[in-house]
Structure 1
Amino acid sequence: MHHPGPPRFVAVGESVELAPRQPEPDMAAEWRLVERPAASTAALGDGPVCHLEPDAPGVYRAELTAPDGTHEQGIRAFPAVTETVRFSVTADDFEVDDTDDLAVADRAIVIGKFNDFTMGTHWAERDGDEWVIETDLPPGTHHAIFSFDGSFEATATDEVTVEGPGRPRVELISETVDGDLVVSADARAAPSGSEPAVEFYLDDRDALEESAVTIDCDELRVPREALPETARIHAVAVAERHSVADTLVVEKGGETTNRPATVSRPADPPTWASDATIYEIFVRSFAGETVDTTFEAIERRVPYIESLGVDVVWLTPIQASPTRHGYHITDFFDTAEDLGTRAEFESLVDRLHEAGIRVVFDLVINHSSRDHPAFQLHRAGVPEYADYYERIPASQDISDVDWAGEDAPGHYFNWTRIPNLNYDSLAVRRWMLDVVDEWRDVVDGFRCDVAWGVPHGFWKEVRERVKADDPEFLLLDETVPRDAAFAENEFDIHYDTDLFDTLRDIGTGETPASALFDALDTSVERGYPDRTGHMRYVDNHDEDRYIDECGAAPLRAAVGATFTLPGTPMIYAGQERGVEQQRGTMRWHDGDNALTDFHRRLVALRADHAPLRSPAVHPVPHTVETGAADSVVAYERTDGDETLVVLLHFGDGTAEVSLDTAVGDTDLLSGDPVGSDGTVAVDNIAVVSATTDS
């Protein structure tokens, strides 16, 4: 079925892509705009994939003519909430020894989330001693990176904060009342935002007639006899800004009048994900210093992975690639020769499954290597590949590559060796869906590289595609910085860059330990739904190691935070062995065994105590008797049956902390006594039971 999918929700000025699903490269497909607000002059271009940029609030309706018929897709555009901000830097802000060359530059390249980190689209102009750029941005904290040549050898960063409310949130709840389906919307205001209203939307794919639906404020009601076999109901909370939409899927499930419909929430993460611990393996550094890493070599080391107690292994790319890291893929359908055959990879997966460990595959579909045959054919003018890659005007290209033409490939940052695929091409969309199909039955989930570079509509199609056969399949996004829009029927778990950055700032002493509460609150401010999963981590293959930046003592406290706060903790292989290099070789013979045991005990503690996997966190009043007060934080975790108090100390030595709360006298993590008279001795982390005085 080529229907383009669910209704879409955007702010005025945001572009939304419209594309048929299950495309064939040469199929005939055409769009036209059949409804728009009276104040709008928006239009759609030609082609099977179009982009609508709403220019006025209201409802837009687009009609798709495809081989299987005519379909409609609704787009609701909400007012944009933005403010003009000014980013600026001086020569002194650049990390270079000699600023004389900078002094003559009239302008600088600027990238940030606001332009998807694309060079050549935004420039800062010289204004006296500063380079300045202004742009309109929504509420929140924003960063801009300045560069003169795009090489990242000399950069400067500026940060601005736009005051204003975050995004509201909404959750749909259903019940059967007198045989009717009643859907209630629990709408919650954003911090500093006003109380939201609720808007319900039906799905154009279903046969549920609007005339059969009754809506009263935050409640929708449908008589059972009016329900089609499947109905999808969407809702958005609307205040100063709009929420991520929530969705319920209603299956009528038979003709018995008294039988209630079956209702599911397609955006919910798999049931196992919130209890899991992820272990990321940077594949080619895992086997050791003198042994080449292969699938067989990793398989022989599964007993070690199993001993950690982790539930999921995320492998960095294992497909054909000329690079050590594997993200420059030259064949999406086969494994890298140096790692082994497809059969050997599947043997590794089977061995991990035998150990009770799921496998997450690094899905790289934003780009290919420029050594991929498709890109070579594209650049060489082969007609069938003309639209496979993004193209930008030569005037926008700031690379030092001679692309031998008047256009250049689109790419992010300075990644000239990995050109962006063109999702306006049906052939590319078909190609990448085939890649998804190739691997989804082999593994248990995808970590989606540069997820922010692939259109939302495509991710929505991928989600429905993989979840239709396996609802427990995991989708983990790399969106840096975070963006709650990817939680709208797209991904299960999201990188928590806010906590990551905050733990770094705490570890270096730039911010107090209590700032981790602010980082957690940011998830709410950004509008992530309560049910959303967040990956909590201190290291990954793209960042300098925490131990290198902050030291060994803060590392233990930071790791302790990831295992005792809500979310899904992730260990980056080598973190637990004391590896100091970002993608350094695993330290097998000279690793830090005490640190490894520390990680094992944290994994086991979280598995054994349900409060550490619960959603709520409450700060605990405390007094730091000895040690730096700013380096200590305490919080309560409870599931209603058991209550634990977690204390973290990011400083050196031991902090003596007194609590008003009565606690047990044993640290559940180490088994050591923690003190008496309400005083707890904390080296880096202590976890104690809250007790009730008799």
Structure 2
Amino acid sequence: MHSVAPPRFTTVGQSVELAPRDPDPDVDSEYSWTVEARPNGSSAVVSDDAVVHFAPDVPGLYRLRLTAPDGERERLVRAFPDVRRTARFELPLPDLPIPHEELESICIMGPFNEQLVGRDRPTYEDGAYVYETKLPPGEHPYGFLLNNDLTEQVRGTLSVPGPRRPRIRLDAEREAGDVLVTADAKAAPDSDYADDELAVEFYIGERAPGALASGEKRVHRVESDGRTVRIPRDEIADARRVHAVAVGERHSIAERVEIRGDDEAGRNRNARTRIHRPNDPPEWAASPTVYEIFVRSFAGETVDTSFIELERRVPYLEWLGVDCVWLTPVLGSPTTHGYHTTNYFETADDLGTRAEFESFVAACHDAGIRVIFDLVINHSSRDHPAFQMSAAGVPEYRDWYVWEEDGETGEAKAQRYFNWERIPNFNFDSLAVRRFLLDVVDEWAGLVDGFRCDVAWGVPHEFWKEVADRVPDDFLLLDETIPRDPAYHEGEFTMHYDTTLYGTLRDIGTGEKPASDVFDALEDAKRVGFPDSAVHLRYVENHDESRYREECGRDALKAAAAATFTLPGAPMMYYGQERGMTEYRGTMRWDDGDEELTTFHRSLCETRDELSVLRDGTVERVEWESDSEAVVAFAREMDAERVVVALNFSERPQSVRIDERIEAEDLVTGRRIPTARRDDGGTHSGTELLVSDVVVVRATGESK
């Protein structure tokens, strides 16, 4: 059964994928798209395929119609002006790490070309390799690959100038039987627009205000302030979803509210109206403490990890104080890491049965711990039977994967990202693939509390939007998108890898950046256009990265971990981080781990759990002075509660002078800390304290 799909928002020059929802691949040929309406001057068309990639050619509104076996559906596509600018990547010969005569080939790779090796090749101009393309304003990481070798590349980040995206939030309330939906639009930090100068465009269901079909009655009106839509209570059944975008130099990520009436026919004025905001995280996932387990390394040296052994260790997770546990893949796979899936509907034989997995989940729930399942659907193992049959040419499986012509041999080759030769990419233009993977989502969504979605950036937005609409309202979707991208918050994911803070904390730990750069990392979310509803996963290491302690040292690790726990978002511990591990996928150090470091991490969990201001409060800069650039201080404030946090990434305790009156108890350790009031009438007034790694203290609120 085809379900209602949201409007799509894009720019000229960027296509959008449109696909049937809940598709039936057995009647693939019965799906067709047509362009019903387009702006003046447009000649945009669609292909004859069931899944289309629609490319608007002029700004404006496009109305497309999908004819499907179960009826017809309309899709609205709003195209804004092209914001891309010419981006020029250069690699001068002096920057080559190998002699020029040893260079047989060179290509460029980055998020802008889906990390595909060999697809785009620079030209040689005046002593440099040059590649030009069009990209939107922002920071664009890239790598020049020498001889197509990922281990031999020159990395960099290209900054494309231009305005960033505004942000918008929708709220809904009941008034005199009607529902009022109000937009709060905020301009980008570098915008020439003030907040109240931004335009707001509302879209009701699949329609824009004023765009009514023949004979359709109006069920809403935009108030004179241009920020509010009024929907009569009697018509809620006809207008359940309200979408909006803020528009300045660019358009924002679209926001959405759902208005749900208990009286489906909309006839009972006394029926209860429920408001749901899909872009908000589930209440339990607004600021949880996450613990990632690299599954097969967790049980110990002499015990093979299984669901039974994991369940036996749930008391440790409960004692540590975590709110949810993310398991690396637990489905059938020939690898220890599990990301090469061979069976999407059965748990791995070495880990145990589905019943044993369900028992582990139940034990976690009994301990108040949610379970996050690693969903790997960008690719499969090349040993999956579907790929084997696709490669062999079996007709009904041939289009399950993306087949391209090999630039060297001219033969067909399955597309892979990076150098992932053993995990070919699924083809989401295939209805059979979409049906198969939606069944995978349905199989596991009813058992666990959320999905961490592997290589989320490699899966089309259209598919993720359908996934988000299929899972329960209290289900968490966490994306692995590197670098993070606010487009994945538009009706898709509510929690995102914070790649910006991760990189900043690494650079602070190695001494390449001052500790005060954490403020710039926090502001980056606003600069790139993440709305306030987005939850950011704050981490210092994971299963794909080297251990922080190995790169930066134990002292810096304590400060970095403390930063993730004292800043807004969802702090994450990677298994063994709290035990002082240095091997990134090594066996958990149960017997010889760092006990003091474990106690430290447990104290961070307890402190965050006890102080709601650390989860929900605002972040404010405070005036501080120190002789070390490895020190930073800030305040968290909510209602009448204010705490001050000081972090020290260096190997030695540092004296920090804070321009606040504070209590002398460190809320992390519970110990009294030595402080001294200094007030010489000049710049040296305030409270002086000694910080080893982190200090969290209450501000008294008294005058300085």
Q: Same fold (TM over 0.5)?
A: yes
TM-score (norm 2): 0.93
- Aligned residue in 2 for 1:591: 593
Q: Quick one: distance in 1 between partners of 2:317 and 2:270?
A: 50
Q: Quick one: distance in 1 between partners of 2:649 and 2:249?
A: 39
Q: Quick one: distance in 1 between partners of 2:423 and 2:144?
A: 22
Measure how far apart 1:34 and its partner are: 1.4
2:696 equivalent to 1:687: yes
TM-score (norm 1): 0.94
Stretch of structure 1 that moved more, 421-430 or 10-19: 10-19
- Aligned residue in 2 for 1:434: 439
Q: Report if the CA contact (8 A) 2:219-2:239 is conserved.
A: no
Q: Quick one: distance in 1 between partners of 2:121 and 2:303?
A: 47
- Aligned residue in 2 for 1:213: 220
- Equivalent positions of 1:548-627 (< 5 A) are 548-624=550-626, 627=627
Question: Once the two structures are superposed, what CA deviation does each residue of 1:145-186 show, in whole Å capped at 9, x if it has no partner?
Answer: 111233312111122212222110111122333433222211
Q: Which amino acid aligns with 1:584?
A: G
Question: Once the two structures are superposed, what CA deviation does each residue of 1:401-429 show, in whole Å capped at 9, x if it has no partner?
Answer: x8xx8321111111121110011011000
Q: Report if the CA contact (8 A) 2:219-2:238 is conserved.
A: no
Partner-residue secondary structure (3-state), 1:134: strand
Q: Report if the CA contact (8 A) 1:314-1:362 is conserved.
A: yes
Q: Which amino acid aligns with 1:18?
A: L
- Aligned residue in 2 for 1:654: 653
- Aligned residue in 2 for 1:135: 133
Q: Quick one: distance in 1 between partners of 2:596 and 2:378?
A: 40
- Equivalent positions of 1:203-282 (< 5 A) are 203-204=205-206, 211-215=218-222, 216=224, 217-228=226-237, 231-254=240-263, 255-257=267-269, 261-282=273-294
- Aligned residue in 1 for 2:146: 148
Q: Which amino acid aligns with 1:692?
A: G
Stretch of structure 1 that moved more, 484-493 or 127-136: 127-136
2:489 equivalent to 1:487: yes
Measure how far apart 1:258 and its partner are: 5.7
Q: Report if the CA contact (8 A) 2:387-2:401 is conserved.
A: yes
- Equivalent positions of 1:33-182 (< 5 A) are 33-90=35-92, 92-94=94-96, 99-100=98-99, 102-105=100-103, 107-182=105-180
- Equivalent positions of 1:399-548 (< 5 A) are 406-467=411-472, 471-548=473-550
Partner-residue secondary structure (3-state), 2:701: coil
Measure how far apart 1:24 and its partner are: 1.3
Q: Quick one: distance in 1 between partners of 2:4 and 2:414?
A: 27
Measure how far apart 1:438 and its partner are: 1.1
Q: Report if the CA contact (8 A) 1:176-1:260 is conserved.
A: no
Partner-residue secondary structure (3-state), 1:589: coil
Of residues 283, 302, 305 in structure 2, which corresponds to 1:293?
A: 305
Partner-residue secondary structure (3-state), 2:470: helix
Q: Report if the CA contact (8 A) 1:268-1:532 is conserved.
A: yes
Q: Quick one: distance in 2 between partners of 1:26 and 1:597?
A: 57
- Aligned residue in 1 for 2:632: 633
- Aligned residue in 1 for 2:185: 187
- Aligned residue in 2 for 1:667: 666
Measure how far apart 1:130 and its partner are: 2.0
Q: Report if the CA contact (8 A) 2:540-2:548 is conserved.
A: yes
Partner-residue secondary structure (3-state), 1:356: coil
Q: Quick one: distance in 2 between partners of 1:434 and 1:353?
A: 25
Stretch of structure 1 that moved more, 287-296 or 360-369: 287-296
Q: Quick one: distance in 2 between partners of 1:673 and 1:134?
A: 59
Q: Which amino acid aligns with 2:445?
A: R
Question: Once the two structures are superposed, what CA deviation does each residue of 1:31-89 show, in whole Å capped at 9, x if it has no partner?
Answer: 11112222222221111111101121111111100011111100001112122122122
Partner-residue secondary structure (3-state), 2:371: strand
2:385 equivalent to 1:345: no
2:325 equivalent to 1:313: yes
Q: Which amino acid aligns with 1:669?
A: V
Q: Which amino acid aligns with 1:574?
A: G
Structure-2 change in CA distance of 1:325 and 1:205 (3 Å): farther
Q: Which amino acid aligns with 1:639?
A: M
Q: Report if the CA contact (8 A) 2:494-2:533 is conserved.
A: no
Measure how far apart 1:239 and its partner are: 0.7
- Aligned residue in 2 for 1:366: 378
Q: Quick one: distance in 2 between partners of 1:3 and 1:120?
A: 39
Q: Quick one: distance in 1 between partners of 2:55 and 2:217?
A: 27
Q: Quick one: distance in 2 between partners of 1:203 and 1:222?
A: 12
Stretch of structure 1 that moved more, 174-183 or 458-467: 174-183
Q: Which amino acid aligns with 2:690?
A: A
Q: Quick one: distance in 2 between partners of 1:165 and 1:479?
A: 22
Q: Which amino acid aligns with 1:634?
A: A
Stretch of structure 1 that moved more, 120-129 or 331-340: 120-129
Q: Report if the CA contact (8 A) 1:248-1:263 is conserved.
A: yes
- Aligned residue in 1 for 2:336: 324
Question: Once the two structures are superposed, what CA deviation does each residue of 1:462-498 show, in whole Å capped at 9, x if it has no partner?
Answer: 111112xxx2111111111111011111112100000
- Aligned residue in 1 for 2:21: 21
Stretch of structure 1 that moved more, 185-194 or 346-355: 346-355
User: Structure 2 regions of 5+ residues with no counterpart?
Assistant: 678-686
Q: Report if the CA contact (8 A) 1:230-1:251 is conserved.
A: no
The number of residue pairs the alignment matches comes to 677
Measure how far apart 1:213 and its partner are: 2.2
Structure-2 change in CA distance of 1:689 and 1:210 (3 Å): farther
Partner-residue secondary structure (3-state), 1:638: strand
Stretch of structure 1 that moved more, 237-246 or 155-164: 155-164
Q: Quick one: distance in 2 between partners of 1:205 and 1:84?
A: 34
Structure-2 change in CA distance of 1:457 and 1:516 (3 Å): same
Q: Which amino acid aligns with 1:461?
A: E
Q: Quick one: distance in 1 between partners of 2:657 and 2:286?
A: 32
Q: Report if the CA contact (8 A) 2:189-2:527 is conserved.
A: yes
Of residues 295, 298, 304 in structure 2, which corresponds to 1:283?
A: 295
Partner-residue secondary structure (3-state), 2:550: helix
Q: Which amino acid aligns with 2:460?
A: P
Q: Quick one: distance in 2 between partners of 1:147 and 1:652?
A: 37
RMSD, aligned CA: 1.9
Stretch of structure 1 that moved more, 556-565 or 81-90: 81-90
Question: Once the two structures are superposed, what CA deviation does each residue of 1:367-409 show, in whole Å capped at 9, x if it has no partner?
Answer: 00011110000000111101100112222xx6xxx8xx83211
Q: Which amino acid aligns with 1:515?
A: D
Q: Quick one: distance in 1 between partners of 2:536 and 2:95?
A: 33
Stretch of structure 1 that moved more, 583-592 or 3-12: 3-12
Measure how far apart 1:234 and its partner are: 0.5
Q: Quick one: distance in 1 between partners of 2:509 and 2:94?
A: 26
Q: Quick one: distance in 2 between partners of 1:130 and 1:310?
A: 51
Measure how far apart 1:674 and its partner are: 2.2
Q: Quick one: distance in 1 between partners of 2:700 and 2:608?
A: 19
Structure-2 change in CA distance of 1:598 and 1:210 (3 Å): farther
User: Structure 1 regions of 5+ residues with no counterpart?
Assistant: none
Measure how far apart 1:30 and its partner are: 0.8
Partner-residue secondary structure (3-state), 1:201: strand
Q: Which amino acid aligns with 1:9?
A: F
Structure-2 change in CA distance of 1:426 and 1:93 (3 Å): same
Q: Report if the CA contact (8 A) 1:106-1:125 is conserved.
A: no
Q: Which amino acid aligns with 1:318?
A: V
- Aligned residue in 1 for 2:643: 644
Q: Quick one: distance in 2 between partners of 1:121 and 1:41?
A: 29
Partner-residue secondary structure (3-state), 1:186: strand
Q: Report if the CA contact (8 A) 1:3-1:205 is conserved.
A: no
